[in-house]
Amino acid sequence: MTIAAHPPGLSDVAPGRLDEASVSVNFADLHPPLARHEAKVEAERCYFCFDAPCQKACPTSIDIPLFIRQIAADNRYGAARTIFDANIMGGMCARVCPTETLCEEACVREAAEGKPVTIGLLQRYATDPAIAAGKSPYARGAPTGRRAAIVGAGPAGLACAHALAIAGIESTIFEAHPKAGGLNEYGIAAYKAIDGFAAKEAAFILSIGGIEVRYGAALGRDVKFDDLRRDYDAVFLGTGLGATNKLGLAREGELENVVDAVDYIARLRQAEDLTKLPVGRRVVVIGGGMTAIDIAVQSKKLGAQNVTIVYRRGADKMKASRFERELAQTSGVVIRTWARPVSLEGHGDALSGVVFEDTHERDGVLASPGSVFRIEADMLFTAIGQRGALDALDGAPIDVKDGRIVVDAERRTSLEGVWAGGDCVLGGEDLTVSAVEDGKQAARSIAAALGVARI
């Protein structure tokens, strides 16, 4: 998966398709923050529902009516506390949660008039100043002498560590990357968390104290699973999904400019200067989830001329929500449904086109009537799902299914003293907010198991 620049005309992949000014406009905040008056007007729309449906729809069960009422009553800090009590990553969740399928979908005003209270924007309004202040509003609990090892400083690991710190359980996070945040830092679309927000939020969470992060320390490579189990009172695995699925087509691994979307986004997120990032003139994306949308939109924002997402089933089956699909379409991305790639075409070593066959579904089985078409492409992004990469567990006897760790309601694995959460566990939703909930629940269970007062 190399990316190679080529002269226009052949396989056109080049950096700097747009000047710096256009790129910075394109990558500005997707949803600009609410100003005080807007926030208060919006907050007044909330009915303060009994047993609020929005709260039930939030994976972390934030007391939404309460925090919105606090905003309306000019108590922004109190609103932030209400959010953080349930979700210490309320700032990022406010930016990246697909609210249209979570809290806002459940809002009674969605049913009533198709205009839910904009819970996500209000949540951001409440949390922004607290995170900007850079200090967790919680006090670290008096040290209990108990210690936990956490693998992965993504949303799951950080949420777990913060909750453990409140309980007085010290933790060491082993993080393979040089930065904390997991996919917040390396995966989320750039325009959803601008101005280094992921790093600011990670610092805010870690500021509680009692959490040591060992950057560049990968489980399996630099540290052994059995050692962690021996040296710590509890182990929490929050390693996310390490590997991505492949198309399984000939020349997929060798043709230039056939690129894994997640890898490319990580590069994009870490790029100092987006105008130096090469992108194709004609881009094809294969997949139907959030990653497919994100790579398509970001390619467009970098200056790609034609961007086409090709998905093998109908739009209703895409994991990307309607809002996400419309975001792609209004950004100029074409979404083609009911087609799958059958072969890659090259010009020399570089990709030049993708051949697709039409598909349809017969009795739940995907089939093709036999017709094919070709899309000229300088660059192909694969975004067809991620898998767990659990080799780091060194074959420890942990129940695993479909490449994911099996956990119970408390996020306990089958192995005593080992908990897990986030994308790496089975049955999750692969969302930031669910990873946070997993981390929080696991911390509660760990504290209880270690005989530490309930948190």
Partner 1 sequence: MADLRTNFLGVKSPNPFWLASAPPTDRKVNVERAFRAGWGGVVWKTLGEAGPPIVNVSGARYGAIHGPDRRLIALNNIELITDRDLEINLQEIKEVKRAWRDRALIVSLMVPCDEDSWKAILARVEETDCDGVELNFGCPHGMSERGMGSAVGQVPEYVEMVARWCKAHTRMPVIVKLTPNITDIKNPARAAKNGGADAVSLINTINSIMAIDLDSMTPDVAIDGKGTHGGMCGPAVKPIALAMVAEIARDRECAGLPISAIGGITTWRDAAEFIALGAGTAQVCTAAMTYGFKIVEEMISGLSSFMDAKGYARIDDFRGRAVPSITDWQNLNLNFVVKAEIDQDLCIKCGRCHIVCEDTSHQAIFAHVNGKRRFVVNDAECVGCNLCALVCPVEGCITLVHKTAGVDPRTGLDYARPAANWTTHPNNPSVQKAAE
* Token couple for 44: 């007044």
117 binds, among ligand FAD, partner 1, ligand SF4, none (CB under 5 to 8 A by kind): ligand SF4
Shortest Cβ 396–ligand FAD spacing (Å):
13
Report what 37 binds from ligand SF4, ligand FAD, partner 1, none; CB cut-off 5-8 Å by kind: partner 1
Taking the least distance from each CB to ligand FAD, the nearer of 236 and 338 is 236
Residue 44 interacts with which of partner 1, ligand SF4, ligand FAD, none, CB < 5 to 8 Å by class: partner 1
Partner whose footprint covers residue 41, from ligand FAD, partner 1, ligand SF4, none (CB < 5 to 8 Å by kind): partner 1
Q: At what angle do helices 119-133 and 64-72 cross, to 10 degrees?
A: 70
Kindly state whether residue 89 participates in binding ligand SF4, applying the rule CB under 6 A. Answer: no
- List the structure tokens of 355: 């051949």
Rank residues 350 and 435 by Cβ distance to ligand FAD and give the closer one: 435
* Closest C-alpha among 97, 261, 273 to residue 184: 97
CB nearer to ligand FAD: give 97 or 277: 97
CB of 99 to ligand SF4, least distance (A): 10
Least Cβ distance, residue 116 to ligand SF4 (angstroms): 6
Among 9, 37, 272, 330, binds partner 1 (CB under 8 A): 37
Taking the complex as a whole, the smallest distance from the CB of residue 72 to ligand SF4 amounts, in Å, to: 11
Q: Of the two residues 14 and 108, which places its CB atom closer to ligand SF4 in the complex?
A: 108
Bridge partners of 237? 151, 420
| Cβ 119 to partner 1 shortest distance, Å | 15
Q: Is 61 in the site for partner 1 (CB under 8 A)?
A: no
Other Cβ atoms less than 10 A from the Cβ of 147: the count is 18
* CA-wise closest residue to 58 among 110, 97, 89: 97
Could you write out the three-class secondary structure of 224-284?
Answer: CHHHHHHHCCEEEECCCCCEECCCCCCCCCCCECEEEHHHHHHHHHHCCCHHHCCEECEEE
Binding residues for ligand FAD, per CB under 6 A? Answer: 96-97, 151-157, 174-177, 182-183, 187-188, 192, 218-220, 238-240, 242, 262, 265, 290-291, 294, 392, 422-424, 430-433, 435
> What is the footprint of partner 1 within residues 101-120 (CB under 8 A)?
108-109, 111-112
**Angle subtended at Cα 79 by Cα 75 and Cα 85, rounded to the nearest 5 degrees:** 145
Element of type H or E holding 405: strand 404-405
Of 80 and 173, which has the nearer Cβ to ligand FAD? 173
Decide which of partner 1, ligand SF4, ligand FAD, none touches 289; Cβ closer than 5 to 8 Å per partner kind: none
Cβ–Cβ < 8 Å for 354, 284: yes
CB contact burial 68-86 (16+ within 10 A = b; e otherwise):
bbbbbeeebebbbbbbbbb
Residue among 93 and 126 whose Cβ is closer to ligand FAD? 93
Report the C-alpha gap between 190 and 86 in whole angstroms: 26
DSSP bridge partners of 356:
341, 373
Residue number, 117 or 190, with CB nearest to ligand SF4:
117
Between CA 68 and CA 118 the distance in angstroms is 10
User: Does the CA dihedral 39-40-41-45 come out positive or negative?
Assistant: positive
Question: Which among 143, 292, 115, 277 is positioned nearest to 209, based on CA atoms?
Answer: 143
C-beta of 13 vs 94, nearer to ligand SF4: 94
Give Cβ neighbours of residue 81 (< 8 Å, ≥ 6 apart).
137
Cβ atoms < 10 Å from Cβ of 294: 27
Task: In angstroms, give the least distance from the CB of 383 to ligand FAD.
Answer: 8
Shortest distance, position 123 Cβ to ligand SF4, whole Å: 10
Token pair of 76 as six digits: 């922004």
Contacted entry of partner 1, ligand SF4, ligand FAD, none for residue 51, CB cut-off 5 to 8 Å set by kind: partner 1
Which of 39, 261 has the CB closer to ligand FAD? 261
DSSP 412: B
Q: 265: which 2 tokens?
A: 């986004």
Task: Assess 34 for contact with ligand SF4 (CB under 6 A).
Answer: no
**Please, are residues 353 and 230 in contact by the beta-carbon 8 Å criterion?**
no
Task: In angstroms, give the least distance from the CB of 123 to partner 1.
Answer: 20
Give the footprint of partner 1 on residues 39-58 (CB under 8 A).
40-41, 44, 47-53
Residue 111's binding partner among ligand SF4, ligand FAD, partner 1, none (Cβ under 5 to 8 angstroms by kind) is: partner 1
Nearest distance, CB of residue 105 and ligand SF4, angstroms: 10
| Residue 223, helix vs strand vs coil | strand
* Interacting residues with ligand SF4 between 42 and 71 (CB under 6 A): 46-49, 52-54, 64-65, 68
- Residues in touch with partner 1 (CB under 8 A): 37, 40-41, 44, 47-53, 108-109, 111-112
- Residues in touch with ligand SF4 (CB under 6 A): 46-49, 52-54, 64-65, 68, 107-109, 117, 119
